[in-house]
Amino acid sequence: MAHEDCIFCKIIDGEIPSAKVYEDDAVYAFLDISQVTKGHTLVIPKTHTKNIYETSPEIASELFERIPKIANAIKKAYRPIGMNLLNNNEKPADQSVFHLHIHLLPRYGKDDGFS
């Protein structure tokens, strides 16, 4: 169920526009508004869950099951030479949006902006 005042729930519902990378019944993937590297994508479960601590095994497996396919689509579209997966949980660890998300960060070499 959509969580009140959650920007990622609003993105899933289409209330806030986003550049869709992938969507199915359980997962939505879209370009991060602040592209740390070209093709920087966020993958989120459609069910609102605050972060990894509050995520059920079912939601976690639905989410991670899709990631190889999404990573390969990004690899094909942007041709990076590598990719980092990143997940921040709680403010001290730089979580700024409290709807679980996995960053997919395509890498292009030493000076690609992500360090």
Which residue ranges make up the site for Zn ion (CB under 5 A)?
3, 6, 8-9, 48, 99
Token pair, residue 105, equals 């960060």
Task: Choose among Zn ion, ligand 5GP, none what residue 99 binds, the Cβ cut-off being 5 to 8 Å by kind.
Answer: Zn ion
Q: Which is nearer to Zn ion, 9 or 21 (CB)?
A: 9
**99 annotated active-site:** no
For residue 78, the minimal CB distance to Zn ion (Å) is 27
Separation between Cα atoms, residue 39 and residue 58, nearest integer Å: 27
Q: Which is nearer to ligand 5GP, 91 or 110 (CB)?
A: 91
Distance between terminal CA atoms of the chain?
36
Question: Would you please indicate which residues are annotated as catalytic (active-site) residues?
Answer: 101
